[in-house]
């Protein structure tokens, strides 16, 4: 995919006829709709400078009544190893385990690295097509890739810096000790461009939960990084890893709010009582969960986690790669899936579901009071052909314009 937008404005400029949500409509005590009005918006220095009464006759950029919402963020993706941009390829039934996939990656990575900058940019274009302006992306750190996956990813991000940004997670996809990746992890931990130390199934891949987690935690502490560990394991080893990481966060307050477990499939296999207990522990340690909302198997207990105040981040994970072919790159689709999966069908519940695409930013608070946008907010928005947040989630509405750091890009 080519870049789907063209630059319309940057720096200091104004918009008119911008539709914003201003409150809820009620029938007795039931919320039955969302009230919107048209406004004018001033942009300056990457911020929303002013939200003011609409000036329809002003000689400024016309938003044509499109709904303004916070731009989307994908909080778990792998920009460095997509097959997007290459000929279609479905999954092979021969590769059944993570270790099978590690062996396969060791074969194909040298060839994939030859085109990884271009393919990362094409995947970024796909995400932007659906209104995403920022991501948390994992990049391979392993003996086969060396530092090349990081270097190529950084080149792609530099090429897209005016319209896209990313947090980077050093991901030892081939294990920390299963392959000789510990020294590489120590090397990238020193880089300012890397924000999180990652990990992968400490027990099933490296055979030692404590050794791997202790190594990762110490790197994060020594270099002031966050932690984001892939955990596919279920059962005893999965829960032991989750609890051990929570213990480490409680012991080290500087890790709280900066520690995440990606996938955490073990949480989907607990009794209601066990779910409540671990949700409370996650909240105590301020350990977040990053989920791609798997549609097969048992659903993740996202409502229980949210009820306890656990920070739940959502991402696409795989977008047409050799791990999965089902990621679409569309964060509105993820919000829509969550709404369907957990029965969020009312106007109010659908409006709340938008938070899974925007990562917790909502135009209206729980009582319908306008809380976004305000003067000083980051100028990271989308314009969409929808009447309200609930409709945007339910119909996965088309994105007409994307604004990143005050740079406005309109669909070609």
pLDDT in tens, the chain (412 residues): 889 999 999 999 999 999 999 999 999 999 999 999 999 999 999 999 999 999 999 999 999 999 999 999 999 999 998 888 888 888 778 877 889 889 988 999 999 999 999 999 999 999 999 999 999 999 999 999 999 999 999 999 999 999 999 999 999 999 999 999 999 999 999 999 999 999 999 999 999 999 999 999 999 999 999 999 999 999 999 999 999 999 999 999 999 999 999 999 999 999 999 999 999 999 999 999 999 998 877 899 999 999 999 999 999 998 877 788 888 999 999 999 999 999 999 999 999 999 999 999 999 999 999 999 999 999 999 999 999 999 999 999 999 999 999 999 999 9
Determine how many CB atoms are found less than 10 A away from the CB of residue 379: 21
Cβ pair 23, 363 in contact under 8 A: no
Structure tokens at 401: 């314009």
DSSP class of residue 32 equals E
Q: What are the φ and ψ backbone dihedral angles of 310, each rounded to 5 degrees? A: -70, 135
Note whether 148 and 258 are same-domain residues: yes
> Among residues 313, 329, 345, which one ends one of the domains?
329
Comparing CA positions, the residue from 197, 261, 255 lying closest to residue 233 is: 261
> Cα(261)–Cα(312) distance, rounded to whole angstroms?
10
* β-bridge partners, 199: 229
Domain of residue 395, CATH code: 2.30.40.10
Cβ pair 362, 389 in contact under 8 A: yes
Mean pLDDT of the chain: 96
Structure tokens at 63: 């938003």
User: Model-level pTM?
Assistant: 0.96
Comparing CA positions, the residue from 288, 76, 97, 248 lying closest to residue 178 is: 97
Note whether 30 and 142 are same-domain residues: no
CB-neighbour burial class of residue 12 (10 A; exposed 0-12, middle 13-18, buried 19+):
exposed
Q: Determine the 3-state secondary structure of 257 from DSSP.
A: coil
Structure tokens at 324: 């999965």
> Cα(66)–Cα(145) distance, rounded to whole angstroms?
44
Note whether 251 and 314 are same-domain residues: yes
> Among residues 314, 329, 344, which one ends one of the domains?
329
Note whether 318 and 281 are same-domain residues: yes
Comparing CA positions, the residue from 23, 20, 33 lying closest to residue 366 is: 23
> Among residues 274, 305, 329, which one ends one of the domains?
329
Q: What are the φ and ψ backbone dihedral angles of 339, each rounded to 5 degrees? A: -60, -45
Q: Determine the 3-state secondary structure of 234 from DSSP.
A: coil
356 contacts: CB under 8 Å, gap ≥ 6: 312, 314, 331, 334, 335, 338
pLDDT digits (tens, 9 = 90+) for 267-283: 999 999 999 999 999 99
Residue 403, domain extent: 5-65+361-411
Measure Cα distances from 299 to 159, 265, 296, 312, 330 in Å.
38, 9, 8, 14, 20
Q: Determine the 3-state secondary structure of 314 from DSSP.
A: strand
DSSP class of residue 253 equals G
How many folded domains does the chain comprise? 2
Identify whether 79 is part of a domain: yes
Note whether 53 and 140 are same-domain residues: no
> Cα(26)–Cα(20) distance, rounded to whole angstroms?
18
pLDDT digits (tens, 9 = 90+) for 282-291: 999 999 999 9
Note whether 30 and 87 are same-domain residues: no
DSSP class of residue 394 equals H
Note whether 45 and 96 are same-domain residues: no
Note whether 223 and 289 are same-domain residues: yes
> Cα(158)–Cα(222) distance, rounded to whole angstroms?
27
């Amino acid at each position: 995919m080519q870049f789907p937008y063209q630059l319309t404005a940057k720096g200091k400029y104004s918009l008119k006829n911008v539709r914003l949500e201003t409150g809820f409509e009620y029938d007795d005590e039931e919320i039955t709709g969302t009230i919107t009005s048209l406004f004018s918006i001033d942009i300056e220095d990457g911020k929303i400078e002013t939200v003011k009464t609409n000036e329809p006759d002003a000689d400024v950029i016309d938003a044509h009544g499109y709904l303004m919402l916070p731009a989307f963020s994908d909080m778990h993706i792998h920009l460095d190893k997509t097959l997007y941009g290459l000929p279609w390829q479905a999954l092979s039934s021969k590769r059944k385990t993570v270790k099978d996939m590690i062996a396969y990656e060791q074969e194909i990575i040298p060839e994939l690295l030859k085109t990884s900058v271009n393919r990362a940019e094409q995947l970024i274009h796909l995400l932007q097509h659906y209104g995403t302006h920022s991501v948390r992306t994992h990049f391979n750190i392993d003996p086969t890739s060396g530092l090349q996956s990081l270097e190529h990813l950084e080149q792609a991000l530099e090429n897209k810096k005016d319209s896209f940004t990313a947090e980077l997670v050093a991901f030892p996809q081939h294990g920390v000790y299963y392959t000789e990746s510990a020294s590489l992890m120590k090397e990238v931990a020193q880089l300012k461009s890397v924000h999180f130390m990652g990990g992968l199934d400490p027990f099933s891949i490296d055979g030692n939960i404590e050794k791997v987690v202790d190594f990762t935690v110490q790197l994060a502490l020594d270099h002031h990084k966050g932690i984001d560990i892939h955990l596919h394991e279920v059962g005893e080893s999965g829960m032991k890893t989750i609890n051990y990481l929570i213990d480490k966060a409680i012991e080290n307050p500087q890790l709280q709010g900066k520690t995440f477990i990606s996938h955490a499939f073990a949480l989907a296999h607990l009794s209601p009582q066990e779910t409540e207990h671990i949700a409370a522990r996650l909240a105590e340690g301020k350990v977040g969960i990053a989920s791609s909302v798997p549609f097969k198997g048992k659903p993740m207990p996202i409502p229980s986690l949210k009820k306890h105040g656990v920070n739940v981040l959502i991402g696409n994970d795989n977008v047409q790669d050799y791990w999965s072919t089902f990621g679409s790159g569309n964060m509105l689709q993820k919000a829509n899936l969550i709404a369907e999966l957990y029965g969020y069908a009312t106007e109010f519940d659908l409006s709340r579901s938008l938070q899974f695409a925007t990562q917790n930013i909502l135009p209206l608070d729980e009582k319908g009071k306008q809380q976004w946008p305000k003067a000083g907010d980051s100028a990271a928005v989308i314009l969409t052909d929808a009447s309200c947040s609930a409709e945007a989630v339910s119909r996965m509405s088309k994105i007409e314009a994307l604004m990143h750091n005050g740079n406005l890009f309109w669909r070609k």
